[in-house]
Structures are given as C-alpha cells and as structure tokens.
Amino acid sequence: MTQSISPWTASNMKDANAQFESQVQRFLEDIIKDKSRHARFLNMLSMLEHKGSRRIMLSQMDQVLTQDTLQHLAEEARHAYFFKRQAERVAGHSLNGWTKDNTMCIEPSLMYFGRLGVGVENEVGRKSAYSWVSLVVELRACWFYEIYQDVLEHSNDHMSLKSILAEEDKHLSDMFAMCDGKYETLEKLSNYETKLFARLWPQLEQSSNQLKNAA
C-alpha cells in the first residue's frame, strides 16, 4: 500500500527546495574554480559526514547494534574520509581536523546539525531520532550531491561523487522504510530541515565571500 510512493514525493522536499537550486549551483560553480575555498568547503563536508557517523554511533550506545546500522555508520565515516582526502588533494597539503582556518562556515554548519538533532528528537522522541534524523539528512545529502555532481561533470575537476550518491540513495530508501508510512511526520521534519538549511545557506555564501575578498 505504501510501497509505490518515493521519499521525494512523501516529503515534498524537492518542491520545497526548488527555490535554492540555482543559487546552490552558482555557488558550487564559483567555488570549484578557487582551490583555497574549494578545499575548505570540502573539509566542511568531511566534518558534517563525520558528525553524521558519530551521531549514529552515539544514538546506538544503548541499543543492539545491527549489521545494517554498522554498515551505515561505516559508510558515513568513509564519506568523511573521502571528502577529507579530496580537500587535501585540492589544497595540496594536509588539513588536520576541522578548524576555523581550514573549514568553511564551521560554526553555522555545526549549529545546523545540532539544531536538527534537537528539533527532530523533540518531535519523535529520543529512541526514534536516529532513523528520522538520518532520513531528512539523506534527503538533503542526495539533493545537494546531485547538484554538486552535475557541476563537477561540467568542470575540469575530475572528482566524482557517484559512489557516495549511490550509498546515500540506499540509506535514503532504508531510512524511508523505517519511517513506516508516517508521511505527515516526514513532510513536517523535512520542512523543519529546509528552514534550517535556508538559515545556513546565506551564512555559507557569506563565509565564502569573505574568503574571496580576503584573498
């Protein structure tokens, strides 16, 4: 009964985010031409992937860890590693950890992630937070990485996000299955995430512009 609907339809995420598509695309086109800013941006993605992996681990401390959850956790950790490696490739030197100097928009992006966890937990409770936070994060990750991949394909940078996109897409359908047809909750939480993204986005642009002007 509920199988045929996709997480995109159920969440209304793409329609709610259509307004951001062209600005995100322009931002990415601009940033990949500038190694110094691109490296910091990649390091920010590495940090967020790491936080995602860490959150899965922490949320499962008092649960029975399944193979599926361990796989999810390992794949998010691999994404953090992938973006760190790409950030260092672009920078041409190592970028250890995540600091204000080597990571773009560090505080607002951590705030986005923190608020998302708190807001979702308030809505669905602590025990269910893992799958719901993951679900709305996977929607954002798939949406964002698809635009990014498209921009990369039209550039001179040969980085490919295809393997990451395949994994995020699989996480998205796994988490969608776990939400058990509660589409109203999904739309509500996805809207909440979109509001947080709308708040984060101008801060990311500002952070990038500041670096551009300082160069």
Tokens encoding 179: 């939400």
SS (H, E, C) 161-206: CHHHHHHHHHHHHHHHHHCCCCHHHHHHHHHHHHHHHHHHHHHHHH
Q: Which is nearer to Fe ion, 10 or 139 (CB)?
A: 139
Cβ distance to Fe ion smaller for residue 73 or 90:
73
Q: Identify whether the C-beta of residue 212 lies closer than 8 Å to the C-beta of residue 38.
A: no
Q: How far is the CB of 168 from Fe ion (least distance, A)?
A: 5
Q: Lay out the site mask for Fe ion across 101-130 (x = CB under 5 A, - = otherwise).
A: ------------------------------
In the bound state with Fe ion, the residue whose beta carbon lies nearer, of 76 and 193, is 76
Considering only the stretches 34-42, 47-55, 82-90, 125-133, report the one whose residues sit in contact with Fe ion under the rule CB under 5 A. Answer: 47-55
Q: Which is nearer to Fe ion, 10 or 135 (CB)?
A: 135
Contacts by 123-127, CB closer than 8 A, 24 or more apart: 123/185, 123/188, 123/189, 123/192, 124/185, 124/189
CB of 107 to Fe ion, least distance (A): 21
Residue 33 or 166 with smaller CB distance to Fe ion: 166
38 binds Fe ion (CB under 5 A): no
Site for Fe ion in 166-185 (CB under 5 A): 168, 171
Q: What is the C-alpha separation between 164 and 173, in angstroms, rounded? A: 14
Q: How far apart are CA 114 and CA 121, in angstroms?
A: 11
Stretch that binds Fe ion, among 70-78, 93-101, 147-155, 176-184 (CB under 5 A): 70-78
Kindly tell me which of 92 and 141 has the beta carbon lying closer to Fe ion. Answer: 141
- Alpha helix (H) ranges present in the chain? 7-11, 13-31, 35-59, 67-91, 106-124, 129-153, 162-178, 183-214
- Minimum Å gap between C-beta 210 and Fe ion is 27
Encoded one letter per residue, x for contact with Fe ion by CB under 5 A and - for no contact, window 149-168 reads -------------------x
Residues forming contacts to Fe ion in the complex (CB under 5 A) are 49, 76, 79, 168, 171
